[in-house]
Chain A
Amino acid sequence: MTHRLIAFVVALLALAAPALAAETKPDVKGLYLLSDYPAVTVQPGTTSTVSMRLRNYGLAPERLSLAVAGAPAGWKATLLGGGQPIAAAMPATDDSVSFDLRLDVPKDAKTGTQTVTVSADGSSQHVSLPIQVTLAKELPAKLSLTPELPELRGSTRSTFEYTMTIKNDSGKKLLVSLAADAPRNFDTSFTEAYGSQQLTAIPVDAGKTKDVKLKVTPPDTVDAGNYPVTVHIGAGDAKASAKVALDITGEPKLTLAGREGLLSARATAGTESSVPVIVSNTGTAPAENVQLSANAPSGWKVTFDPKSIERIAPNQHKEVQALITPPSKAIAGDYVTTFNASARGENGSANFRVTVTTATMWGIAGVGIIGAALLIMVGAVARFGRR
């Protein structure tokens, strides 16, 4: 019967020769019990799963009863297929059936190597596979973490992005949790290597790697310096960590205000008024050559005394005088004037509200007119006064 079947297959192959020429048929025949890792290491008191396959190469389907032998006393060895305990399997021709061997190892099991034999018995086929189970107190590291560029440099306003590779060296898929240990007030977040979704954990297949990106945002007020960040990943007992560092260069930050933080000033139309402006550097590096300028309504003349400041050290301030001259035809009321201070890319500005009052000359002229009218009256009284 076997020979006839082979003859039939050969005939079929001959007919389909041009189409199947590309496919190389493995020159294997028979029934095999397979496992990716037939020797595993487990810890006492844990459950370990070994995935297995029953492969049929060119044989007719057959019912094969499965059994586990050689499990030491106290161990529990269960065969699971499709989520439930199984006792037999039936792989089709040139197909395989997957199942798991679950080993519940008691806590008090002795360290050492045990051999558990899984066998499949049919009417014509008998296969078995010994699986070596080594009991060890400590499992070898299963995760590793490698940052691509561990040292980045930038200012407080830049974002630091570290791409790192997580490798799962263990025999099963792990959900790896991510955490970063950053200095106080540093903001950290993990995202996918190409994506914006923030993550706290990422699944990594057995033996595979995955890239994640760590984004660190330093606070604005941080001083220049080197700041380490430690990244911890973990899945169950497996842990790994890596160190990255931020090299923050300081930068100046300019703010403007009046004395005592006042942002209002008074000016008289047509005359120059002096407004004290305090330029402060709240950044982390000195500001050099600070230029002062103003955006005022058209017709206004705004100059600064002095026009520029040589240097402002961090957390220091300098006072300048803004000399504001509204046009003589300016209408009384409030106007917005913007004062700017700029030092090589760094810019600070403040909106000042300038209250313009009109010159009092016309008020005096009005008093003069009333006075003249009264004089006329006095003159009339003196000239025309009579009984």
Chain B
Amino acid sequence: MRREGSPWQGLGVVTLKELSDHFTSARMRVLEWLVVLVALAAVYGAIQQIRDVTAEDPFLFLRLFTTAREPLPSFVSFLSFLVPLMAIGLGFDAVNGEHSRRTLSRILSQPIYRDALLFGKFLAALGTLSVSLIALWLLVIGLGLITLGVPPGGEEMARAFIFLLVTIAYAGVWLALAMLFSVVFRSAATAALVTLGIWLFLTVIWPALAPAIAQAVVPPDNQEALLVTAQMLTRLSPSTLFGECVLALLNPTTRTLGPVYLSQLQGAVMGAPLPLWDSVMVAWPQIVGLIAATILLFVGGYVAFQRQEVRA
């Protein structure tokens, strides 16, 4: 049966209800504690290391995000595995949970389209993640202000802000993936397991596997093609894309993320930071990849949900 009227009808209601559900759930308590502990641990480690090691640095504040001190990983590495976990945790039972609670047909009997239900669930989960990430970001900056005693510059804040947006996009990819599987699989446990499996595969195994695949595909005498192919393959993983974005944004001296010829470096002034806009341009393909992957995965979930029988 064709839909009549706007697909957005009821979107606001669903989003608000889902948001309030998220914020009052036990998961949110866990998330909040994770946020606070991660911020404390990362900032503590970074501050110790900065005090010991870093000399004068025009981007001292950005070091807060990227500096690690053994055995703690840096704030960015914390995020690169914490964000997928948070997103999957919020999204893995978005639709099949309604099935198992037998509430889906009851919701859809209201004047709410399926479009609005899925959009609302996605937006609410993304909103929850954004709130957590913004809180985390503000916590780190605040703690950094207190402990470093150095006010951040305008460009540093702009870079940190774009980094926050990229992190939210990165969370969106995993959220869309988790929601796709929550549509595909009726069992929440299966959906969670499959999503976590894909996450582990893409984050841990794929970066090691990609060069091997490249070696098998590309003739071995063409070193350049080999390098480029291996890099292209690793970039299929959102974790790699996120890591490269962070490198370009939080390390202003990064000039490129691809292979570099020696001739391209002739006359280059090493260690000179790139302007903000150029750094964004360096990371732009990666950012586009994250945003486009989010949209396409969501569309996949949307199509699957629209074609599903929900009255069973």
Main secondary structure of the interface of B (DSSP, over half): helix
Within 8 A of B (CB), among A338-387: 353, 355, 357-358, 360, 362-363, 366-367, 369-370, 372-374, 376-377, 380-381, 384-387
Please state if B264 and A380 are interface contacts (CB–CB under 8 Å). no
Give the distance to chain B from A357, nearest Cβ to Cβ, in Å: 5
Instruction: Tell me the complex Cα distance, A334–B268, Å.
Output: 6
| Interface range on chain A (Cβ under 8 Å from partner) | 35 or more
Contact partners of A299 in chain B: CB under 8 A: 263-264
Please state if A381 and B285 are interface contacts (CB–CB under 8 Å). no
Chain A 294-305 interface 0/1 with B at a Cβ cutoff of 8 Å (1 = within): 001111100000
Within 8 A of A (CB), among B275-312: 275, 277-278, 281-282, 284-285, 287-288, 291-292, 295-296, 298-299, 302-303, 306-307
Please state if B255 and A362 are interface contacts (CB–CB under 8 Å). no
Q: Is B115 an interface residue (CB 8 A)?
A: yes
Please state if A366 and B288 are interface contacts (CB–CB under 8 Å). yes
Within 8 A of B (CB), among A298-343: 298-300, 327, 329-337
Please state if A385 and B7 are interface contacts (CB–CB under 8 Å). yes
Q: Which of A337, A363, A381 contacts B302 (CB 8 A)?
A: A381
Give the distance to chain B from A250, nearest Cβ to Cβ, in Å: 36
Please state if A334 and B302 are interface contacts (CB–CB under 8 Å). no
Give the distance to chain A from B60, nearest Cβ to Cβ, in Å: 21
Please state if B255 and A332 are interface contacts (CB–CB under 8 Å). yes
Minimum CB distance partner of A353 in chain B: B269
Contact partners of A373 in chain B: CB under 8 A: 291-292, 295-296, 299
Q: Which of A333, A360, A380, A386 contacts B1 (CB 8 A)?
A: A386
Give the distance to chain B from A166, nearest Cβ to Cβ, in Å: 58
Give the distance to chain A from B121, nearest Cβ to Cβ, in Å: 15
Minimum CB distance partner of B304 in chain A: A384
Contact partners of B303 in chain A: CB under 8 A: 380, 384
Please state if A362 and B298 are interface contacts (CB–CB under 8 Å). no
Q: Which of B114, B284, B291 contacts A386 (CB 8 A)?
A: B114
Please state if A298 and B302 are interface contacts (CB–CB under 8 Å). no
Instruction: Tell me the complex Cα distance, A331–B268, Å.
Output: 9
Instruction: Tell me the complex Cα distance, A87–B71, Å.
Output: 101
Give the distance to chain B from A339, nearest Cβ to Cβ, in Å: 13
Q: Is B146 an interface residue (CB 8 A)?
A: no
Contact partners of B48 in chain A: CB under 8 A: none
Contact partners of B223 in chain A: CB under 8 A: none
Q: Which of A297, A358, A376, A380 contacts B267 (CB 8 A)?
A: A297
Known interface pairs A369-B292, A385-B306, A386-B114; A331-B287 also in contact (CB < 8 Å): no
Contact partners of B287 in chain A: CB under 8 A: 366
Please state if A387 and B302 are interface contacts (CB–CB under 8 Å). no
Minimum CB distance partner of A336 in chain B: B267
Known interface pairs A329-B264, A387-B1; A370-B288 also in contact (CB < 8 Å): yes
Contact partners of A358 in chain B: CB under 8 A: 278, 281-282
Nearest 10 CB-CB pairings of A with B: A297-B267, A366-B288, A384-B306, A373-B295, A334-B269, A334-B272, A297-B266, A385-B3, A333-B255, A373-B292
A-B contact pairs, 15 of them (CB 8 A): A299-B263, A329-B264, A333-B255, A333-B269, A336-B269, A353-B269, A366-B288, A367-B288, A373-B291, A380-B302, A380-B303, A384-B303, A385-B113, A386-B3, A387-B114
